[in-house]
């Protein structure tokens, strides 16, 4: 498995020959300090950074590839490993090896990719759901879309912002493949990572009540309830039973976007957002009343249900990363890698169907 180095990198043990040396040679070639091949220099954008090889002092004969930890900057990383291509065996594989690989997932040639595993953070339960390669191999042409969409579900809703951002990043990789005829990749994967926590979308009561009131007065209601106003949300805080009730109107879409961008430490009054594309007939058709007992100052669990259905175009900064990994079967070529291109296009089509439907 992958090990963690104290300096924050990850360690992948070198596989036995010829796979291990071939993967090391690939990284050395791409990350050669003297490399001036624009194809390889462009490829670096889509790989984890490579820091050479490493051996533990206690076992100098064990060699590890020292690589960037792609998940390091994520709080609750959701991770999916997808093997790409119509063939999971290389041109030099034996007949036995070919039969073995084909039998593992006979639909590989038709679908063009295989989910090797996923780990999804569910906000609702503050826990991870895990799926292994057996889950991916159980997916058929009819169920693959629903199987992939599970990775983008937070427990409350489908993260369409993440789906849209993933498509954009995969399209960049596809663009690279369409323009190169140097290398063919077999049994290589895409690692898709996104932030599963709601830090970027959290709306807490303290954030609401501490926002600038812009001179709008607040008044006392019967029973000791304090009604606080701002331009977007009205919060009634009952001092008697701890009940929090928020009336969410169309203006909340602006509030959500401003709050999200406020993470950059700019004041919300300095920001602007186009909201013309909101689905007027869907989520914002009418005001929504949200009520939950004893939220301890956090209205996120109910508001999350509303926010997650906002159109993807209003969520511009989803924290998503897509990298290519596993290069034990990369070979020189003088043609386009049609198998890998086929897999990327099919994966993009599935993701687009998830987004559209």
Domain boundary among 69, 84, 100: 69
Q: What is the CATH number of the domain that holds 157?
A: 3.30.470.160
User: Average pLDDT of 313-342?
Assistant: 89
Domain boundary among 69, 86, 102: 69
Domain span at residue 187? 70-198+317-356
Q: Are residues 23 and 65 in the same domain?
A: yes
Q: Who wins on pLDDT, 189 or 226?
A: 189
Least confident of 162-171, 176-185, 295-304, 340-349: 295-304
Q: Are residues 95 and 140 in the same domain?
A: yes
d(CA 339, CA 351): 19
Least confident of 11-20, 43-52, 238-247: 238-247
User: Average pLDDT of 21-26?
Assistant: 98
Q: Is the predicted pLDDT of residue 238 greater than 90, yes or no?
A: no
% the chain with pLDDT above 70: 67
pLDDT in tens, 150-181: 999 999 999 999 999 999 999 999 999 999 99
User: Average pLDDT of 256-262?
Assistant: 39
Q: Are residues 177 and 107 in the same domain?
A: yes
Q: Are 324 and 337 in contact (CB under 8 A)?
A: no
Domain-located, residue 137? yes
Q: Are residues 129 and 166 in the same domain?
A: yes
Q: Are residues 321 and 188 in the same domain?
A: yes
Q: In what order do the strands lie in the sheet with 64-67?
A: 2-4, 10-13, 64-67, 50-54
Q: Are 85 and 112 in contact (CB under 8 A)?
A: yes
Q: Who wins on pLDDT, 226 or 21?
A: 21
d(CA 156, CA 177): 36
% the chain with pLDDT above 90: 65
Residue 337, CA distances (Å) to 84, 108, 115 in order: 11, 16, 20
Q: Are residues 77 and 194 in the same domain?
A: yes
Please, which pLDDT band fits residue 199 given cuts at 50, 70 and 90? low
Q: Are residues 161 and 87 in the same domain?
A: yes
pLDDT in tens, 69-112: 999 999 999 999 999 999 999 999 999 999 999 999 999 999 99
Tell me how far apart the 2 most distant CA atoms of the chain are, in Å. Answer: 81
pLDDT in tens, 102-126: 999 999 999 999 999 999 999 999 9
φ and ψ of 182, to 5 deg: -95, -35
Residue with token string 């976007």: 257
Domain-located, residue 4? yes
Domains identified in the chain, total number = 2
Least confident of 18-32, 84-98, 161-175, 196-210: 196-210
Q: Quick check: helix, strand or coil at residue 119? A: strand
Q: Are residues 192 and 337 in the same domain?
A: yes
Q: Are residues 97 and 168 in the same domain?
A: yes
Please, which pLDDT band fits residue 317 given cuts at 50, 70 and 90? low
Residue with token string 């291109």: 341
Residue 318: predicted pLDDT:
84
User: Average pLDDT of 247-257?
Assistant: 36
Q: Are residues 82 and 173 in the same domain?
A: yes
d(CA 175, CA 181): 12
Domain-located, residue 227? no
Q: Is the predicted pLDDT of residue 216 greater than 60, yes or no?
A: no
Which stretches of 193-239 are DSSP H helices?
205-209
Domain boundary among 69, 84, 110: 69
């Amino acid at each position: 498995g992958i090990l963690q180095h104290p300096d924050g990198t990850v360690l992948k043990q070198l596989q036995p020959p010829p796979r291990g040396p071939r993967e090391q040679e690939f990284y050395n070639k791409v990350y050669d300090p003297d490399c001036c091949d624009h194809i390889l220099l462009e490829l670096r954008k889509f790989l984890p950074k490579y820091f050479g090889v490493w051996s533990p002092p206690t076992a100098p004969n064990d060699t590890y590839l020292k690589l960037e930890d792609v998940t390091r900057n994520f709080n609750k990383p959701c991770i999916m490993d997808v093997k790409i291509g119509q063939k999971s065996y290389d041109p030099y594989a034996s007949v036995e090896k070919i039969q073995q690989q084909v039998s593992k997932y006979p639909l590989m040639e038709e679908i063009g990719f295989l989910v090797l595993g996923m780990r999804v953070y569910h906000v609702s339960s503050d826990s991870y759901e895990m799926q292994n390669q057996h889950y991916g191999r159980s997916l058929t042409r009819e169920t693959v879309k629903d199987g992939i969409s599970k990775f983008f579900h937070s427990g409350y809703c489908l993260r369409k912002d993440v789906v849209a951002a993933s498509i954009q990043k995969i399209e960049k990789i596809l663009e690279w493949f369409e323009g190169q005829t140097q290398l063919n990749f077999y049994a290589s994967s895409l690692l898709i990572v996104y932030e599963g926590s709601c830090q970027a979308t959290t709306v807490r009561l303290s954030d609401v009540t501490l926002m600038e009131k812009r001179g709008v007065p607040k008044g006392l209601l019967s029973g000791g309830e304090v009604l606080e106003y701002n331009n977007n949300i009205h919060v009634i805080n009952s001092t008697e039973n701890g009940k929090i009730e928020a009336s969410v109107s169309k203006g909340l879409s602006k509030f959500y976007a401003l709050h999200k961008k406020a993470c950059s430490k700019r004041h919300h009054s300095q920001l602007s957002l186009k909201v013309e594309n909101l689905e007027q007939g869907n989520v914002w058709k009418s005001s929504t009343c949200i009520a939950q007992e004893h939220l301890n100052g956090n209205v996120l669990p109910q508001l999350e249900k509303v926010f997650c259905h906002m159109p993807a175009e209003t969520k511009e900064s989803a924290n998503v990363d897509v990298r290519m990994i596993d290069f034990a079967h990369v070979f020189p070529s003088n043609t386009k890698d049609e198998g890998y291109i086929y897999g990327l296009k099919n994966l993009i089509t599935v993701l687009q169907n998830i987004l559209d439907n």
